[in-house]
Structure 1
Amino acid sequence: MSVIDLGEYGADFTANPYPYYAKLRAQGPVHEVLTPDGMPAWLVVGYEEARAALADQRLSKSFSAFGMPLPEEEIVGPNLLIVDPPDHTRLRKLVAGEFTGRRVEALRPRVQQLTDELLDAMEPDGRADLVDSFAFPLPITVICELLGVPAADRDSFRAWSNELVTPTGAMTDREAVEGFGGYLDALIEDKRAAGPADDLLSALIATRAEDGDRLSLPELRALAYLLLIAGHETTVNLISNTVRALLTHPEQLAALRADPGLLDGAIEEGLRYDGPVENATLRFAPEALTLGGTEIPAGAIVLIGLAAGAHDPGRFPEPDRFDIRRDPRGHLAFGHGIHFCLGAPLARLEGKTAIRTLLERFPRLELDPEADPLEWLPGMLIRGTRRLPVVW
């Protein structure tokens, strides 16, 4: 089997990778590739193979355990996405108690208030970049308030986060991680000194398991780092990608406007059809193993295609058709297995609130016909566009 250089597909692959994944899938569910930035990896493009790989504990998330620590672990510390059991089990147990349905449900009025305020500010102009004016500020405000991060610091977070997830070249990865890490050290120290408070970071500082176990400073710093990035970057693109899908499928938009009861289906189909995470974060094969009938050599990096799996016709008939009445259960947008996204309930709450209210407030919402072509986010992690110009 020859190595497939995804970089040869150019900008068209970034804008619409699904036809390329379909061609690969027709040849088999797993392929040796070079990513557009030149990284060698084994890419999983079949649904069943992706689901199995996400739950396969032979694949490691801990590169440091094999002498290859990722920059964020070296500088910030071990977070849930880059550790394996038993460390992952311990960290998730300590954290999961703070991600209860009760805490998420308690955020509903505030999410609605923020949504209304953002749309109030947008409405008089008649046009906006939906990403900058709405899809970004809503989740970043929610996650910062949830963690107890001062409002004045959010522009810094956006700059650091952009460089790490969808690079602009304004700074290096290391500079972004170091900026994040230094800031979080100071914030945690301030919260320790201030004592108990009604925010998630303060609760995590105070949390203690029955056996007395608690999070160390590097663990707290790494967890806050993960929550701040994952807690807004994915939701930004959940909102904007789903709105873009609705606006480019007017019959589906009309159906949703006619029957708001279809909103849950619209959100789940948005997650399946063009979800915010194209490929899961990196996994590593410590030993040779077989995935989807393909031999993966020891030491290989494995990319699991969440977007590719979501367009596998063996699991979702007519997968390239956006259909808010579809039963999309089983999509992999939030992962699967022990690394299933802790923040999925909050992302769904924000997505539903944002899109329902946006469509209610702006009955004539459409893509801006005078706008420049959309600019797609680089890389194979986050799926979305830098801007989404709309008018109403």
Structure 2
Amino acid sequence: MEDLAPDGHDIAADPYPVYAALRAKGAVHRVTVPGSGETWLVVTRDAARAALTDPRLRNDIRHSSSWRSDGGHAVGHNMLQSDPPQHTRLRRLVAGHFTAARIGALRPRIEAVAAGLLDGLPEHGTADLVSGYALPLPVTVICDLLGVPRADRAAFHTWSGELVMPTSPEAASQATVALGTYLAELIDRKRRTPDADLLSGLVAAAPGSRDATPGGTAEDAVLAPEELLGMAFLVLVAGHETTVNLISATVHALLRHPEQLESLRADPGLVGACVEESLRYNSPVHAAAFRFAAESLEVAGTHIAAGDSVMVSLAAASRDPLHFADPDRFDIRRERRGHLGFGHGLHHCLGAPLARAEAAVALGRLLRHRPGFAFATDPATLSWRTSMLLRGLTELPLSFGPPV
């Protein structure tokens, strides 16, 4: 991919010319991912949707030809890295907490958190929108939902950030161990003193061992200890990292396209449409989790050998010109939907309703109560955290006028 970038082009800041070059050459490409080796990368929307629904491409890493062990990390036992029937059972245990009705009931809490964070921003001068607003909002909400004590949230986010965008293999390994140890201790606390939070409910479904027979009705309500740890890990990490990127990238896109910002200010009812266009235009989840070929197959005419890994680029697929007119244009009034920002198929993001609500609340309140925001630095100097899976701004310094 780096070979396709123009000389001096920063792929982290703008990977889309590279994706366009790949799409022009075909739907599927062999690429090298640092730390993971060679994989197949899918870059067109039709091929992406096909790959994400092909039952021969599995999420369980044990289908990989390079798999040897999970390294002893129980956090890998989760929905994202499993297939039916295990995936179906695990997803059912938490799906009820992320329905539209549940998120609607949670909205006043999201509004209150956003309001408090905006009140904490300086009345004049500059502040970093990421650390001061886009990050603490989803962190607070997901930690409230799961039951993570306030005193532990800063450390939790540090570990989470290292896992999704590692600074080194050693740091990522240390973060995995630290977060796994912390969650095991938190689960033990919930077992001794349960509360009304999601984690306490999951603990109640994990008596310590799975004693029901596979396929039985009791199996649907039981979590093995390693699955409980994996579930807590996935909900905490996935429940905030992508939303941080979504909120900050949406504000960034609006400031880079002032005519769109003026349209939104003139019609606040476009907030939901703006979030959807941001999900398409600047996908916070750049690629779906690795899939592994359980048998030989073809994806868009490309032969994939059994055991090969496959990555689906949600970002590239969501800018496919065959499905989105003028795809590199940010347009909050765009009529054609169908982006893959939340994935597709069985592993479509369970937390999509929560992410949409948090982003809409964050953007709406910012526009109503701090409408004079503007870049406090040259946007060309901003840096992006990036990996093959996620992409987001490291910081977004803004200047603010007085609160309204």
Name 1:218's counterpart in structure 2.
226
Partners in 1 of 2:287 and 2:14 — Cα distance? Answer: 14
Equivalent of 2:393 in 385, 388, 391: 385
Is 2:4–2:18's contact at 8 Å kept on the other side of the alignment?
no
- Higher mean displacement: 220-229 or 9-18: 9-18
The TM-score, its normalising length taken from structure 1, stands at 0.93
Q: Specify the SS of the correspondent of 2:391.
A: coil
**Identical amino acids, percent of aligned pairs:** 51
Give 1:170 shift: 9.7
- Higher mean displacement: 235-244 or 68-77: 68-77
Partners in 2 of 1:73 and 1:54 — Cα distance? Answer: 28
The one-letter code matched in structure 2 to 1:191 is K
Give 1:287 shift: 2.0
Partners in 2 of 1:315 and 1:70 — Cα distance? Answer: 40
Name 1:122's counterpart in structure 2.
121
- Higher mean displacement: 151-160 or 343-352: 151-160
The one-letter code matched in structure 2 to 1:319 is P
- Higher mean displacement: 91-100 or 354-363: 91-100
Give 1:77 shift: 4.2
Give 1:8 shift: 7.1
Give 1:298 shift: 2.1
The one-letter code matched in structure 1 to 2:39 is A
Give 1:102 shift: 2.8
Give 1:6 shift: 5.5
Structure 1 residues 6, 334: closer, same or farther in 2, change over 3 A? farther
Spell out the pairing of 1:131-142 with structure 2 (5 A cutoff).
131-142=130-141
Name 2:91's counterpart in structure 1.
92
Structure 1 residues 72, 372: closer, same or farther in 2, change over 3 A? farther
- Higher mean displacement: 67-76 or 125-134: 67-76
1:193 aligns with 2:192: yes
1:332 aligns with 2:344: no
Q: Specify the SS of the correspondent of 2:179.
A: helix
Question: What is the aligned length?
Answer: 388
Q: Specify the SS of the correspondent of 2:239.
A: helix
1:44 aligns with 2:42: yes
- Higher mean displacement: 92-101 or 352-361: 92-101
The TM-score, its normalising length taken from structure 2, stands at 0.91
Partners in 2 of 1:147 and 1:183 — Cα distance? Answer: 14
Partners in 2 of 1:312 and 1:270 — Cα distance? Answer: 15
Q: Specify the SS of the correspondent of 1:369.
A: coil
Q: Specify the SS of the correspondent of 1:76.
A: helix
Partners in 2 of 1:94 and 1:234 — Cα distance? Answer: 22
Name 1:22's counterpart in structure 2.
20
Partners in 2 of 1:371 and 1:47 — Cα distance? Answer: 30
1:280-333: CA deviations, max 9, x gaps? 111111322100111112221111010000110001110000000002421111
Structure 2 residues without counterparts, runs of 5 or longer:
207-211
1:315-374: CA deviations, max 9, x gaps? 111000000000242111111110011100000010000001011112221111368811
Structure 1 residues 261, 371: closer, same or farther in 2, change over 3 A? closer
Name 2:155's counterpart in structure 1.
156
Q: Specify the SS of the correspondent of 1:212.
A: helix
The one-letter code matched in structure 2 to 1:204 is L
Is 1:147–1:201's contact at 8 Å kept on the other side of the alignment?
yes
Structure 1 residues 205, 11: closer, same or farther in 2, change over 3 A? farther
Q: Specify the SS of the correspondent of 2:381.
A: coil
Let me know the Cα RMSD of the aligned residues: 2.2
Structure 1 residues 73, 63: closer, same or farther in 2, change over 3 A? farther
The one-letter code matched in structure 2 to 1:355 is L
- Higher mean displacement: 356-365 or 138-147: 356-365
- Higher mean displacement: 199-208 or 12-21: 199-208
Structure 1 residues 161, 330: closer, same or farther in 2, change over 3 A? same
- Higher mean displacement: 61-70 or 279-288: 61-70
Spell out the pairing of 1:185-264 with structure 2 (5 A cutoff).
185-195=184-194, 197-207=195-205, 211-213=217-219, 214-264=222-272
Give 1:53 shift: 0.8
Name 2:209's counterpart in structure 1.
none
Give 1:69 shift: 6.0
Give 1:206 shift: 2.6
Structure 1 residues without counterparts, runs of 5 or longer:
none
Name 1:268's counterpart in structure 2.
276
Partners in 2 of 1:7 and 1:118 — Cα distance? Answer: 42
Partners in 1 of 2:68 and 2:117 — Cα distance? Answer: 40
Name 1:110's counterpart in structure 2.
109
Partners in 1 of 2:191 and 2:258 — Cα distance? Answer: 51
Partners in 2 of 1:260 and 1:72 — Cα distance? Answer: 49
